Structure 1
Amino acid sequence: MALPLLALGFLALLLAGYHLYGGFVARRLRLDDARPTPAQSVNDGMDFVPARPFYLFAQHFSAIAAAGPIAGPIIACQSFGWLPCLLWIGFGVVFIGAVHDFTSLTASVRHGGRSLAAIAREYLGARAGRAMMGFIWIALVYVIIAFADITAGTFVSGTEELQQAGTRFNAGGAVAAASAMYLLLAVVMGLLQRWLRPPLWLLTLVFVPATFGVAWLGTLVSEVLVLDHLGWALIILAYCCVASVAPVWALLQPRGYLGGFVLYAALAMGVIGVLFGGYDIQQPAFKSWNAGGASGALFPFLFVTIACGACSGFHGLVCSGTTSKQVAKESHMRVIGYGAMLAEAFVALIALVTVMIARPEDLAGAAPGTIYGNGIGRFMTLLVGEHNYRFAVTFGAMAFSTFVFDTLDVTTRLGRYMVQELTGWRGRAGALVGTLLTITLPLLFLVFGGGGSWARFWTLFGASNQLLAALTLMAVGVWLHARRRPAGFALVPMLFVLVVTLWALMRLLLANLAATHGLDVELLNGLGAAAFILLALYLAATALARLRRAPEAARAGA
């Protein structure tokens, strides 16, 4: 009974957080449906398009819930035990992560759908705005490299997510075929909704079952799409280019909507398994204050290893980059901003449970995707039977791949936004050039770095991600201060995250520089850590100077 009680207690914490603390934050932000949103006032049919709240929630949820809330808790649990992970995810998401997402979405909507960097430029000055853009763009490059590398690996036969399932078909080809058909379904759905405008319930009735159908169909045509790791990496980056400049109605919105249902299915399997599976907890609640190695100390590395699930700066980019341009009413922002982050925390809980119920011998040498896929497969057999275990584990691994894949086009689009805001390039030509510049570094890294290189900078990715969250809360706090509104609910968590991530980055800087042997990944990671530290210190000093001043006159429309 311990596992069901833990899950129900965690869910109660999330629900209480939404109604109590989420309501508190909403009152401080003064949401007003009478105030037009950018989606209403601009409505250009490409980037600014009003979306129904449930539709937008699904798209936003699928964009933010990628590999982070799955891989991070699994890695951290094996190092520190499940109890520290559970406490950080539960309380961190209520008081930090969900507040970060909610406030960043609100700030962007109140500023015409502009990015966090543009908001920082307005309140911190032009230099700080450019520094913020540089920080965000570098962080996005890390996201693209990691997720493109992970996704390409899932498309290659014998990938880690599927090799323990006992399947006799080309596992990577099955995932690739299912993913390609899933994207094709999204395009068809977008075209139908744009030109024929059928009711959403009818589209849902047709395309959601089809999405699960292609997961099964992919196992039947697993030998059709077979390439090596580099070939898939190049195709994925080419897809990112197309998705970055395509209208949101053509791919981003329908893909996000359908991907949300895959998340819901994985969540449902997790809930069924946790509550009714009768599994015992196999892992200790607490393991060690220091697991060894350069990033083995619980403080600060627990808080950056779990890069999503509790708090994620990447979410602020999604909120201000794509989601804010589709919000139809301000009252929708609480459930989309605060609520979706709480839902991601539950995704992180399910991922944590998949390692909690695993025997120590089953974890030896297993990567996060394998552990998650096997865990979801065990849960799913409660519905489909033990004789379908092979298919169940395949579905779990393909769900993991889908979460990663769904984030790539959003990240590339956000990187394109950063380049366009920094350079002032507009129109389709500016969008294309911005996209090409954004994928150039990931292209070079994937070509010359080799497959599987993402694991070498996961902790740096996590630290930069959390530091971005601190900088976002900092910008939000300065905005609220300038508007003569209470800002403590944003600035207090900002201080905690800022201290933790700077501490982690300093240790990573020293460790990578000590391990480098010339022009290698360790040197680049060390330089990256140094750049993140310097940019963050500059932005923090600038924000502190602004906060010490008397609040400026209220800006029109802010």
Structure 2
Amino acid sequence: MLYFFACVALLIAGYFVYGKLVDNIFGPDPNRPTPAVTLNDGVDYVEMSPKKIFLVQLLNIAGLGPIFGPILGALYGPSALIWIVIGCIFGGAVHDYFSGMLSMRHEGRSIPDVVGKELGFGFKQFMRLFSIVLLLLVGVVFVLGPAKLLGSMTGLAVPAWVAIIFGYYFLATILPIDKIIGRIYPLFGAVLIFMAVGLTAALIYKGYNFYPELTLANLHPKELPLWPLMFITIACGAISGFHATQSPLMARCVTNEKLGRPLFYGSMIGEGIIALIWATLGMAFYSGSTGLNAALGQGGPAYVVNEISTTLLGPVGGLLAIIGVVILPISSGDTAFRSARLIIADFINLPQKVATKRLLLAVPLFVVGFLISRGDFGVIWRYFGWANQTLATIVLWAAAAYLAKEAKLHWIASLPATFMTAVATTYIFVDKIGFGLSLQVSTIIGIAAALLSLGAFLAKFRKGALALEAEAESA
């Protein structure tokens, strides 16, 4: 139990100490007008209160990832919590902060335009396609996941729930952000708080041993390698590229740059705590990795969520907790499609104030999303995992480039970017969805790619710094 609360305390301390450092290095300007004020259109650019933005941002980023991912990651044992804490403080929260603040500095533009501004036209075009594909995968994953949970709870066929959820997504995608998302998301906060606090309290009250095997050794029953799989499996809660597509949504609603740390860095810390809770629940409730693996074999993470919630909190409390778990993915899936609409709108320079123009983009997106939903969930999830961490890597490099150009301490972004380059590259070379090479060869390739990326980054910006110095001296 002490191990768990120590991890929670480290996350909270990370917000106040490292989060403050990151904020100071970036240098928010409280007097600089934000896009919510200068570009207010009543649809996507809308002024919202900080409390609402925090809850909306938390719900946007906290989909199935900080629940399903940590449950699967718990198979590796307590080492999963170390990755959540370190990844969240030094990777995920930094990533989320810069994706929000840089969007704010660039008129609330979507993440491909932000990356393009810092890394060049080629990355901008690549990111446009890559982001839309990722968002469609996210939207589909966050349809199928809650649909299966609701199907098991109600007896109504899963395809029927898929249709209902897609219908809601469509409305949330085309209506002004303050009509549905801005109004109902803050109300969901109470349910999420109940889920997190209630399940943790019940675990303590009923005397469960939090970590039956308190070791940092790899405990995976199938002997899957911890590197790089755990760093892909536990994305949301540690670091997730999907968040970079969500932060610009709220960057268009923030009224003061000084709010960036609590709204972007802080919401990621909140998601990290959710991830800690679910990883701990998976280990404690089933008395270790072997029992958890057996439960996953009966129905996957959705079965685990259902059994844990119902057993610990009873029928009523369990139902409320499961509703919270359903809300989490749905509240990310709708904004995934909304983000995809905005990325395409930015690309073709199509204003979105008029409803017919929003429909022009939304309808084709949902047709494609429906077709993807007909595929195998397991395969979709694996591709989502790699694409998600690859996007996070690119965004961190963009943040590092911005800091280097501004002659600020880029290491807060370039170091986690280097690490994530190794993770994403190793994974695509070792996994069967990629090249299927041996772990040793894939790791060598991953480390080489990371070092080459860092070397190229340092060389580029060293050259730029020397050119600026020479120009200043000649002037």
Band the TM-score falls in, shorter-chain normalisation: 0.7 to 0.9
TM superposition shift of 1:93: 0.7
Aligned to 1:93: 88
Which amino acid counterpart does residue 262 of structure 2 have in structure 1? V
Q: Identity over the aligned pairs, expressed in percent?
A: 27
2:247 is the counterpart of 1:319? yes
Aligned to 2:15: 18
2:345 is the counterpart of 1:413? no
Q: Tell me, in whole angstroms, the C-alpha distance in 2 between the residues paired with 1:292 and 1:338.
A: 35
TM superposition shift of 1:73: 1.0
Q: Tell me, in whole angstroms, the C-alpha distance in 1 between the residues paired with 2:12 and 2:324.
A: 26
Q: Give matches, 1:149-548, under 5 Å.
A: 149-156=144-151, 159=152, 171-172=153-154, 226=156, 228-281=157-210, 283-286=212-215, 289=218, 291=220, 296-320=224-248, 322-359=249-286, 360-361=290-291, 363-364=294-295, 365-366=297-298, 367-380=300-313, 389-427=314-352, 428=354, 429-447=356-374, 449=375, 453-508=376-431, 510=432, 546-548=460-462
TM superposition shift of 1:325: 0.6
Indicate how the Cα distance of structure 1 residues 476 and 404 shifts in structure 2: closer, same or farther if over 3 A, else same.
Answer: same
Aligned to 1:28: 25
TM superposition shift of 1:147: 1.2
Q: Tell me, in whole angstroms, the C-alpha distance in 2 between the residues paired with 1:457 and 1:85.
A: 23
Show CA shifts across 1:291-341 (max 9, x none). Answer: 587x92210000000121111111111112x11011111111101111111
Indicate how the Cα distance of structure 1 residues 506 and 279 shifts in structure 2: closer, same or farther if over 3 A, else same.
Answer: same
Give SS of 1:357's match.
helix
TM superposition shift of 1:287: 8.4
TM superposition shift of 1:457: 3.3
Q: Tell me, in whole angstroms, the C-alpha distance in 1 between the residues paired with 2:14 and 2:211.
A: 29
Q: Which runs of 5+ in 2 are unaligned?
A: 437-449, 469-475
Q: Tell me, in whole angstroms, the C-alpha distance in 2 between the residues paired with 1:291 and 1:257.
A: 38
Which amino acid counterpart does residue 478 of structure 1 have in structure 2? A
Aligned to 1:55: 52
Show CA shifts across 1:109-166 (max 9, x none). Answer: 111111121122223332221111111111111111211111222232xx2xxxxxxx
2:132 is the counterpart of 1:144? no
Indicate how the Cα distance of structure 1 residues 511 and 154 shifts in structure 2: closer, same or farther if over 3 A, else same.
Answer: closer
Show CA shifts across 1:68-117 (max 9, x none). Answer: 00111111212x11x21010001111111111111111111111111121
Q: Tell me, in whole angstroms, the C-alpha distance in 1 between the residues paired with 2:127 and 2:433.
A: 26
Q: Tell me, in whole angstroms, the C-alpha distance in 2 between the residues paired with 1:123 and 1:468.
A: 15
Q: Tell me, in whole angstroms, the C-alpha distance in 1 between the residues paired with 2:210 and 2:179.
A: 44
TM superposition shift of 1:249: 1.0
| Count of residue pairs brought into register by the alignment | 447
Give SS of 2:131's match.
helix
Q: Which runs of 5+ in 1 are unaligned?
A: 160-170, 174-225, 381-388, 515-535, 554-558
Q: Tell me, in whole angstroms, the C-alpha distance in 2 between the residues paired with 1:33 and 1:333.
A: 10
Contact 2:113 2:124 in 1 (8 A): yes
Q: CA RMSD in A?
A: 2.7
TM-score (normalised: structure 2): 0.87
TM superposition shift of 1:540: 8.9
Indicate how the Cα distance of structure 1 residues 323 and 77 shifts in structure 2: closer, same or farther if over 3 A, else same.
Answer: same
Aligned to 2:109: 114
TM superposition shift of 1:10: 1.4
Contact 2:305 2:322 in 1 (8 A): yes
TM superposition shift of 1:368: 1.5
TM-score (normalised: structure 1): 0.75
Show CA shifts across 1:189-224 (max 9, x none). Answer: xxxxxxxxxxxxxxxxxxxxxxxxxxxxxxxxxxxx
Which amino acid counterpart does residue 71 of structure 2 have in structure 1? I
Which amino acid counterpart does residue 470 of structure 1 have in structure 2? T
TM superposition shift of 1:347: 0.4
Indicate how the Cα distance of structure 1 residues 416 and 264 shifts in structure 2: closer, same or farther if over 3 A, else same.
Answer: same
Contact 2:145 2:302 in 1 (8 A): no
Contact 1:290 1:297 in 2 (8 A): no
Contact 1:130 1:422 in 2 (8 A): no
Runs of 4+ in 1 over 6 A off after TM superposition: 536-545
Show CA shifts across 1:338-378 (max 9, x none). Answer: 11111111101111121122235574324212323333344
TM superposition shift of 1:239: 2.3
Show CA shifts across 1:243-295 (max 9, x none). Answer: 111001111111221222221111221342354442213643458648587x9
Q: Tell me, in whole angstroms, the C-alpha distance in 1 between the residues paired with 2:394 and 2:247.
A: 15
TM superposition shift of 1:9: 0.8
